[in-house]
RNA sequence: GCCCCCAUCGUCUAGUGGCCUAGGACAUAGCCCUCUCAAGGCUAAAACCGGGGUUCGAGUCCCCGUGGGGGCACCA
């Protein structure tokens, strides 16, 4: 059931201050889903009013990450749109007019205090409220204007009502009422003339006709302020939605820089830009993220992006904070790998083989390998360790691995000879033609089929686990299979000579 | 410290007063299948934070505790 029948205009509005996290990915996803479901627009807006924290390249990584996930935006800094510009620093001239409007209507004031000094040394708990000490709060506008024209440094602050309360409504939590006495005269425009988030977000969301603001619960504490600003302008508020934040895997707090680094040491990461290289599918990441804080029903968990567009609903968002769980991502990745076309899988695993130094020049072979790997892979990254032997010129099985359970090296050698002869003598080589004869051979030798398969596995792959042996041999090819058996025989002979 | 939010298996969750003897999924263990490994199938263990109300009846509503989380910048 759609959350809203009206087309939603939603935005994802990150600030380019660092690498893009999973949490941002999920926020973007929810916005995207609502837009697509209702036939509305998904807008990308860059909130870069803090030049000090600006990180070059962050914007590019962000866009790459969203595109990798499949979240294409309809309006944004790179593609433009009817409500542009979509980068706040490019909108800077817009904000002054609105700030002045707030001042003239008595909802804001010029403040000439040196507030950093006022607060200096105060512990957060002891910090007094600015509005209780500010001498400029009730200054005549004419006087303030005179000081400004004489060049006095100033900021613009919201004139928070001293009494009363405000009620704002969050779509997943309901009404939230806060006493104005617990709020303060927040800065709206910095002394450099740029607006802070609180002002810019309200103005931009209003001008861009945003219908739903979906952002994480970190914004809940300043949510009442945003409500006040809307009221001061006399504007209608959008529908507010604050999905909960992600907690680190142990559930104790959100990811810190230290946690992030620790995670990377275990080969994991919460940066969107890292998932592809780690071997995850965007479909799986989307599926996984969507389900941290949202659910469809009591049993369905596998979703494609299209499924999510159809099934997503604001009503099923969960208000409580949720720990991220990488083993579940692995599981979803496996599910999505199994769902895909094996030729596509081949192209996806290729770079992982190449990264490990394998020469992948035979596309047909790669596709056969992909087919065999498809149900055995949870993470693409595992492909080389499971199937690297297919690309090796020569393999080196451990001598002991060629000796069957409860068999001597001599018996194993004899068995190997019989197997070699049989495989070489087959008119045609395939599972159909080789399976039964090999099993018969085992019986003839008084052995179990497992002995023969085990020997072949070790001789051909030099691994104790591998894909099913017939599929493996088919891909390797009879010629190379015989070569490797010969090598194994030589190893066994050598072993016999030593004894 | 102050403000705000949250509270069902280890984790993600279903549950909107009787359908709950609390359902699903991941992870864990066992079994089946089986040439190894997977995949798949079956099974097991595993939760309503506590106390008060309201009600014929509470996981579900209210209050208080407790616990967890977030925020308290001329950052977003």
Residue A2 forms part of a structural domain: no
Sign of CA dihedral A314, A309, A209, A66: positive
Q: Are residues A92 and A237 in the same domain?
A: yes
Q: Determine whether the distance from the CB of A165 to the nearest atom of strand B is below 7 Å.
A: no
Q: Are residues A53 and A169 in the same domain?
A: no
* Domain-ending residue, one of A374, A391, A408: A391
* CA A301 to each of CA A295, A328, A373, A381, A488: distance values in angstroms, whole numbers, following the listed order: 8, 11, 23, 24, 47
- How far does the CA of A328 sit from the C1' of B44, in Å? 21
Residue A440 forms part of a structural domain: yes
Name residues 143-162 of chain A with a Cβ under 7 Å from nucleic strand B.
Answer: 153, 155
* CA A473 to each of CA A318, A431, A468: distance values in angstroms, whole numbers, following the listed order: 51, 9, 9
- pLDDT score, position A121: 46
A369: domain CATH number is 1.10.8.70
From the list A214, A223, A220, A160, the residue with the least C-alpha distance to A187 is A160
Q: Are residues A193 and A298 in the same domain?
A: no
- pLDDT score, position A498: 60
A453: domain CATH number is 1.10.10.350
For tokens 């941002």, the residue is A24
* Domain-ending residue, one of A215, A241, A267: A241
Q: Over the stretch A430-455, which tens digit does the pLDDT of each residue have?
A: 899 999 999 999 999 999 999 999 99
Residue A3 forms part of a structural domain: no
Q: Are residues A209 and A161 in the same domain?
A: yes
Residue A428 forms part of a structural domain: yes
* Domain-ending residue, one of A205, A226, A241: A241
Beta-bridge mates of residue A214: A241
Q: Determine whether the distance from the CB of A319 to the nearest atom of strand B is below 7 Å.
A: yes
Q: Are residues A254 and A215 in the same domain?
A: no
Record the pTM: 0.94
Question: Dihedral (C-alpha) A19, A21, A26, A28: value to the nearest 10 degrees?
Answer: -10
Q: Are residues A96 and A203 in the same domain?
A: yes
For tokens 């010969």, the residue is A486
**What one-character-per-residue DSSP string does A319-371 give?**
-S-EE--HHHHHHHHHHHHHHS-HHHHHHHHHHHHHHTT-----HHHHHHHHH
* CA A123 to each of CA A16, A129, A183, A334, A341: distance values in angstroms, whole numbers, following the listed order: 29, 13, 17, 50, 59
Q: Are residues A429 and A465 in the same domain?
A: yes
**What one-character-per-residue DSSP string does A280-305 give?**
--HHHHHHHHHTSSB--SSS-----H
A186: domain CATH number is 3.40.50.620
Q: Extract the tokens encoding A5.
A: 């029948």
From the list A140, A150, A147, the residue with the least C-alpha distance to A109 is A140
Q: Are residues A34 and A110 in the same domain?
A: no
- pLDDT score, position A118: 47
Residue A335 forms part of a structural domain: no
A291 close to A301: Cβ distance less than 8 angstroms:
yes
Angle at alpha carbon of residue A353, lines to A479 and A359, rounded to 5°: 55
Name residues 377-436 of chain A with a Cβ under 7 Å from nucleic strand B.
Answer: 378, 431
- Report how many domains make up chain A: 4
Residue of least CA–C1' distance to B23: A298
Q: Over the stretch A25-41, which tens digit does the pLDDT of each residue have?
A: 999 999 999 999 999 99
A12 close to A34: Cβ distance less than 8 angstroms:
no
Residue A383 forms part of a structural domain: yes
- pLDDT score, position A2: 41
Q: Determine whether the distance from the CB of A180 to the nearest atom of strand B is below 7 Å.
A: no
Residue A334 forms part of a structural domain: no
Q: Whole-angstrom Cα distance, residue A186 to residue A159?
A: 8
- pLDDT score, position A255: 87
Q: Are residues A142 and A269 in the same domain?
A: no
- pLDDT score, position A117: 45
Q: Determine whether the distance from the CB of A171 to the nearest atom of strand B is below 7 Å.
A: no
A27 close to A294: Cβ distance less than 8 angstroms:
no
The interface predicted TM-score of the complex, written ipTM, equals 0.96
Listed in sequence order, the residues at least 6 apart from A132 whose beta carbon sits closer than 8 Å to its beta carbon are none
From the list A429, A430, A350, the residue with the least C-alpha distance to A391 is A350
- pLDDT score, position A84: 81
Structural domain including A14 reads 9-86+245-329
Q: Are residues A210 and A294 in the same domain?
A: no
Q: Are residues A344 and A325 in the same domain?
A: no
Sign of CA dihedral A486, A488, A490, A493: negative
Catalytic residue among A52, A97, A252, A257: A257
Q: Are residues A97 and A178 in the same domain?
A: yes
- How far does the CA of A137 sit from the C1' of B6, in Å? 36
Residue A4 forms part of a structural domain: no
What SS3 state is found at A404? Answer: coil
Q: Whole-angstrom Cα distance, residue A166 to residue A292?
A: 31
- pLDDT score, position A204: 98
To the query of whether residue A257 is one of the catalytic residues in this protein, the response is: yes
| Residues of chain A under the 50 pLDDT cut | 1-4, 117-121
From the list A134, A162, A131, the residue with the least C-alpha distance to A228 is A162
């Amino acid at each position: 059931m759609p959350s809203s029948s009206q087309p939603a205009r939603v935005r994802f509005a990150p600030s380019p201050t660092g690498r893009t996290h999973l949490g941002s990915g999920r926020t973007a996803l929810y916005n995207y889903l609502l837009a697509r479901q209702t036939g509305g627009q998904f807008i990308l807006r860059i909130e870069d009013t803090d030049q000090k924290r600006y990180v070059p390249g962050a914007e590019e990584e962000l866009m790459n990450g969203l595109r990798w996930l499949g979240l294409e935006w309809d309006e944004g800094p790179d593609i433009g749109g009817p409500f542009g510009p979509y980068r706040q620093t490019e909108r800077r001239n817009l904000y002054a007019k609105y700030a002045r409007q707030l001042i003239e209507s008595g909802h804001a004031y010029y403040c000439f205090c040196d507030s950093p000094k006022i607060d200096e040394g105060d512990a957060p708990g002891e910090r007094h409220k600015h509005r209780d000490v500010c001498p400029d709060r009730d200054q005549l506008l004419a006087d303030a204007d005179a000081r400004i024209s004489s060049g006095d440094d100033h900021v613009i602050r919201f004139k928070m009502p001293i009494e009363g309360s405000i009620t704002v409504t969050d779509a997943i939590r309901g009404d939230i009422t806060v006493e104005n006495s617990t709020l303060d005269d927040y800065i709206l425009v910095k002394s450099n003339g740029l607006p802070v988030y609180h002002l810019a977000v309200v103005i931009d969301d209003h001008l861009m006709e945003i219908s739903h603001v979906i952002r994480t619960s970190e914004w809940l504490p300043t949510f009442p302020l945003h409500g006040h600003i809307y009221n001061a302008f006399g504007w209608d508020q959008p529908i507010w939605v604050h999905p909960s934040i992600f907690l680190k895997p142990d559930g104790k707090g959100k990811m810190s820089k230290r946690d992030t680094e620790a995670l990377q040491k275990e080969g994991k990461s919460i940066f969107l830009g890292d998932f592809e290289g780690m071997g995850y599918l965007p479909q799986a990441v989307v599926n996984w993220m969507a389900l941290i804080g949202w659910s469809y029903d009591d049993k369905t968990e596998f979703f494609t992006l299209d499924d999510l567009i159809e099934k997503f609903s604001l009503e099923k968002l969960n208000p409580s904070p949720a720990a991220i769980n990488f083993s579940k991502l692995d599981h979803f990745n496996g599910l999505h790998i199994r769902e895909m076309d094996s030729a596509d899988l081949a192209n996806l695993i290729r770079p992982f083989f190449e990264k490990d130094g394998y020469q992948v020049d035979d596309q047909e072979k790669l596709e056969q390998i992909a087919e065999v790997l498809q149900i055995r892979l949870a993470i693409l990254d595992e492909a080389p360790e499971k199937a690297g032997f297919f690309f090796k010129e020569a393999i080196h099985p451990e001598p002991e691995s060629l000796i069957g359970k409860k068999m001597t090296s001599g018996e194993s050698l004899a068995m190997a000879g019989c197997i070699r002869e049989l495989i070489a003598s087959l008119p045609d080589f395939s599972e159909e033609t080789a399976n039964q004869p090999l099993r018969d051979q085992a019986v003839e030798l008084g052995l179990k089929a497992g002995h023969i398969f085990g020997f072949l596995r070790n001789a051909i792959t030099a691994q104790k686990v591998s894909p099913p042996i017939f599929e493996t041999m088919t891909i390797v090819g009879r010629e190379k299979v015989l070569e490797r058996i010969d090598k194994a025989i030589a190893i066994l002979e050598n072993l016999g000579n030593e004894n």
